Amino acid sequence: MKESAEALERFRKILRPLMPQSLRRLLLNTMAWFASGDLASLARIYDSDKWGGHWYAKHYERHFGARRRKPVKLLEIGIGGYDRPTSGGGSLRMWRTYFPKGRIYGIDIYDKTAHDEDRIRTYRGDQTSADFLRRVNAEIGAPDIVIDDGSHRNEHVIKTFQILFPLLAENGIYVVEDTQTSYWPEYGGRSDQLDGASTSMFFLKKLTDGLNHEEFILPGYTPSYFDQNIVSMHFYHNLVFIYKGSNNEGSVEIRQNMPPGQGASAGRP
């Protein structure tokens, strides 16, 4: 695996000065076509750090594999390459190949229209702007998958989730990458206080209690939007998946957050 990655990097370095970008992209797209179901290879081919720098591809395959042949709408925050207009875009092309019927949308604070291609569309804006995110959503419709690989600043990750998760399609999946910044002060994170801090990981961990909101013994408790619409959460090294759906299976014993036997419909089967 390491040898083939190094060979690909050597190949890329030789190609860059020799070929115009359009021809290089054609060659990479052809290589990618042969590896289309293998996300790790696609990440290598398109130079995305989702395999190599990070080890996310295996988790993405586990969570996205069943949807691969569906016409998914995927929105990724963070196109890559920062202020260099033609840099980045690797993960957008990777997703386009992985989801052959997918529509892939990218958001970045910098202009990335150089990456607009068949089934790829980019938007320029700030991931923390509710107006901007709602405008994109109105244009593309509810995304089935959102991936936050943007600024990774803790307050941005939380704010973006609060705006975009409600706009996600029913049964959609929201992914937060690079949660290591939850522990890093330069991103607004901290390592010395893992509970009760305004970090992205504390915010996400807190949501897990909401999965069981129907079991709380808290008479008068009003479930939040997230309590009612998150059905599962999956935590990995630096990566979190949050599934959207109706979280209303009901409790075996608790009714209206009252102690067992005391709720409005207590005693009914």
Task: Report the first-to-last Cα separation within the chain, whole angstroms.
Answer: 56
Annotated catalytic residue 213: no
Question: Of the two residues 125 and 263, which places its CB atom closer to ligand SAM in the complex?
Answer: 125
User: Which of 50, 59, 73, 115 lies at the binding interface for ligand SAM (CB under 6 A)?
Assistant: 50
CB of 108 to ligand SAM, least distance (A): 5
Report how many residues bind ligand SAM under the rule CB under 6 A.
Answer: 24
Question: Of the two residues 126 and 228, which places its CB atom closer to ligand SAM in the complex?
Answer: 126
Pairing outcome for strands 120-124 and 230-236 = unpaired
Cβ contact 76:106 at 8 Å: yes
CB of 126 to ligand SAM, least distance (A): 5
Per-residue contact string for residues 147-176; x = within reach of ligand SAM by CB under 6 A = --xxx----x--------------------
Token pair listed for 7? 């060979």
Q: d(Cα 192, Cα 213) in Å, to the nearest integer? A: 29
CB of 110 to ligand SAM, least distance (A): 5
Short-list 76, 59, 40, 66, CA closest to 239 = 59
Per-residue contact string for residues 59-98; x = within reach of ligand SAM by CB under 6 A = -----------------xxxxxxx-----x-xx-------
User: Which of 126, 142, 190, 228 lies at the binding interface for ligand SAM (CB under 6 A)?
Assistant: 126
One of 152, 156, 234, 237 is an active-site residue; which one?
Answer: 152
16 DSSP assignment:
H
Distances (CA, A) of 225 to 20, 76, 137: 49, 23, 19
Name the CA radius of gyration of the chain, rounded.
21
Q: d(Cα 52, Cα 57) in Å, to the nearest integer? A: 9
Applying CB under 6 A, which residues contact ligand SAM?
48-50, 76-82, 88, 90-91, 107-110, 126-128, 149-151, 156
> What positions carry a catalytic annotation?
152
